[in-house]
Amino acid sequence: MSRINYDLPDLQAFVAVAERNSFRQAANDLFISQPALSRRIDKLEEALGVKLFERTTRRVQLTNVGQAFLVNVRDALNGLEDAVLGVADLAAHRTGTVTLACVPSAVWHFLPDVLKRYTAQFPKIRVRVHDESAQDVLNLVLTGEADFGICFTGAENPEINFQPIYVESYVLAMRRDHPLAGRKKLSWKDTVDERYISVAKSSGNRSVLDAALAGVEKHPWISCEINHVSGILALVESGLGVAAVPGLSILAQRQGAVIGVPLVNPSVKRTLGLICKHQHAMAPASRTLFDMLSANITKKRRI
């Protein structure tokens, strides 16, 4: 098998151009001339036998192959950076990278205080947070792209260790000036005549709600679907309708224009948990953050 003839500066040049969409700006960032940068990209494309960029006089754009290659190169460079930092530093929690995945509503509620303390204690550790849908969080943990996660799915997966941390109820989100806003609680039949906004069927929240309402005779007709809870809350705030959302997502709305009224008959709940792969030894830096989150969340626990 013949050796592919490229080196680390060629990969760094590729990432610089991809991120800047400009040979000129990338060359400035790398402190090399633009012709030298072009030679590096040409060398890399020739070695790989593919075209990585579409180039015109006005713009530079990644090809489809280039977009896929960028993901792999970034991962490789990040891994190399961690390796160069040294095993001793990683073991001592002084340097490295911790990656966690988290459903968006939990980011605001659980992470800020802990991350402030963690980064103050370990200022040279980089923390990456993927705020994604429940399924994406689970997939990131399963594939090893995230060291651990906060999610409400995964408990039934034999590859996942699910540590329950918090039970939250779904509420009916509405504008503060909505006629139902003064109620202490609402049954699902109270929502039948409302314009109801829902997350799409691909959402984990939709699965929780559909399962809970399977035997309910009267529940609202969906007038609008959107992929994410954050989008739902924006539509609710605009006055488009009401929506059933996790209670933590209302707490994350700092403006206070949208409120949540508890839903009953049935009451719908979801359990958030810290998730990681079974028999997966986390690096010390990751394990420390995991334990700090677990200890902090226990103070707020409802289980």
Query: Is residue 57 domain-shared with residue 179, that is, in the same domain?
Result: no
Structural domains of the chain, count: 3
- Whether 260 and 116 share a structural domain: no
Is the same domain home to 261 and 282?
no
| 37-75: pLDDT as tens digits | 999 999 999 989 899 999 887 788 999 999 999 988 988
Average pLDDT rounded to a whole number, residues 229-243: 92
Q: How many residues does the chain have?
A: 303
Residue 70: inside a domain, yes or no? yes
Residue 2: pLDDT band with limits 50, 70, 90:
very low
Query: Is 287 among the domain residues?
Result: yes
Tell me: cis bond preceding 266? Omega within 30 of 0 counts.
yes
Same domain, 18 and 71: yes
Q: What is the pLDDT of residue 109?
A: 83
**37 within domain boundaries:** yes
Q: Are residues 283 and 245 in the same domain?
A: no
Cβ-contact 129, 248 below 8 angstroms: no
Using CB atoms within 10 A of its CB, is residue 208 exposed (0-12), middle (13-18) or buried (19+)? buried
Residue 92, pLDDT score: 56
Q: pLDDT tens digits for 101-146?
A: 999 888 888 898 999 999 998 888 899 999 998 899 999 999 999 9
Domain residues for the domain of 24 are 8-81
Regarding whether 279 and 130 lie in a shared domain, the answer is yes
Q: What is the CATH number of the domain that holds 63?
A: 1.10.10.10
Residue-wise pLDDT tens digits, 146-160: 999 999 988 889 999
Q: Is residue 3 part of a domain?
A: no
| 56/22 same-domain check | yes
pTM for the complete prediction? Answer: 0.62
Does a structural domain hold residue 303?
Answer: no
Report whether pLDDT(78) > 90.
Answer: no
- Report the CATH number that the domain containing residue 141 is assigned in CATH: 3.40.190.10
